[in-house]
Amino acid sequence: MRQFVGKLAFCLVFIFLMILAILEHEAIQPVMSGAVSEFPSIQYISQKEAQQLIAKTKGIVIIDVRNNTEYIQSHLENAVNIPMRELNEHLPELEKYKDKPIVIYCDKGYRSKTVAIQLEALGFRRLYVIEDGIG
């Protein structure tokens, strides 16, 4: 009888923990799916996808958000250098590209994601971030 009670207790605890895990998973799902759709105007692409997009898209704007020294060392062809810290100063000249496709990149991806989120908040709608940068 004692073994039965022990096994029953173990089974009840196991079932309880499984229910908690399922409930926790259900609670997290909307948050996780919201992370992707929170910035619907931003698409994260690979370097290869960026090259293909640039080659086939007329009027595409390419923005290198690294500092000037990094830009001088190497940059994508036809890219304009707008360092992340200077973004606000360049907003008036970027305004005319609000509805154009814009590829944004940096060395590792952090700065370009930050700039894309800022531009998206300002109404830019066709933003492409090179996800892991060009470094």
Contact assessment for residue 81 and residue 71, using Cβ atoms and an 8 Å cutoff = yes
Q: Which two tokens stand for residue 92?
A: 């008036």
Query: Mean pLDDT across the chain, nearest whole number?
Result: 85
Residue 76 CB neighbours (<10 A): 17
Amino acid at position 130, single letter: I
Share of the chain above pLDDT 70, in %: 81
For residue 99, give the 3-state DSSP assignment.
coil
Contact assessment for residue 124 and residue 96, using Cβ atoms and an 8 Å cutoff = no
Contact assessment for residue 39 and residue 120, using Cβ atoms and an 8 Å cutoff = yes
Tell me if the pTM is above 0.75: no
Q: Which two tokens stand for residue 109?
A: 């991806």
Q: Say what the pLDDT of residue 29 is.
A: 44
Is domain 39-130 in CATH 3.40.250.10, yes or no?
A: yes
Domain ranges of the chain: 1-38, 39-130
> Would the pLDDT of 19 be above 70?
yes
